[in-house]
Amino acid sequence: MESRFSQLALETLFPRFCVSCHKEGTLWCKPCDSVWHAGPMYAACPFCKNRGSDRTCLRCASQTYLDGISACAPYGNPVVREALWVWKYSCDRKIEPVIERWLRRGSARMNPPVAAYYVCSVPLHIGKKRSRGFDQARKVAEWAGNQYGLPVEDLLVRVKSTEAQAKRGGSTRQVGELDGIFQIREGVAVPEHVLLCDDVFTSGATMDAAARALKEAGAKSVWGWVIARG
């Protein structure tokens, strides 16, 4: 009973507002849920953005390690950005069922290429995970595993803490600059095909660094799977 009163007190002092229409009382209201959609997603190379395929193009593939990416929504959508900000930086996990519902609705177009995938997340540094209280990429991996009936494995460890990439300007981020921030978790065997999950893909520097670590440890293909793509 005490915890319920505490929760009510917090909600009174810090009310929630719908991330779409800003109506007070909830992070996602029923009217918005019935009409909102994330907007069109165009197939394009993850790195140079040339349209046509979500696979990494031949030119970019000579310099990168990620084979392609599936995304649910454009990161430029203000509702998507607000929802992810509330989740990651306000640490309000009440938004999780909303994001999971978006992923379920978009799962058909997010199907990765046919392969015997194991699902893995792009992990947070342990310090950031402690301050946040959870690892959002691990949650995305769990959702992907549930949606496609795939095993989820913790394959990577983040050994260096870095600034949140989504907060940096696009012109300041370079693919390759974060190589070396991930290592393979001790004692694990890296599978041939990995579905690599994170919340946001912007420049690709973080996910490609993780893909490099996986491929250098024996993975043959690494496909990205994210909530939003910049």
Reported confidence tier of residue 114, pLDDT bands at 50, 70, 90 = confident
Q: What angle do CA 217, 142, 173 make, to 5 degrees?
A: 60
Please report where in the chains the tokens 């040339």 appear, as a residue: 50
The whole-number average pLDDT for the span 189-218 is: 96
Q: What is the pLDDT of residue 4?
A: 52
Q: Looking at the predicted structure, is the pLDDT value of residue 109 above 80?
A: yes
What would the pLDDT profile of 1-41 be if each residue is shown by its tens digit?
A: 445 544 444 455 568 999 999 999 999 999 999 999 887 78
Residue 121's pLDDT is 97
Residue 178 has pLDDT above 90, yes or no: no
Question: What does the pLDDT look like over 35-94, one tens digit per residue?
Answer: 998 877 889 999 999 999 999 999 999 999 999 999 999 999 999 999 999 999 999 999
Give the pLDDT of residue 163. Answer: 66
Task: Say what the pTM is.
Answer: 0.88
Pairing mode, strands 221-229 and 182-184 = unpaired
Q: What's the pLDDT at 192?
A: 97
Q: Which residue has the higher pLDDT, 6 or 212?
A: 212
Percent of the chain with pLDDT over 70: 89
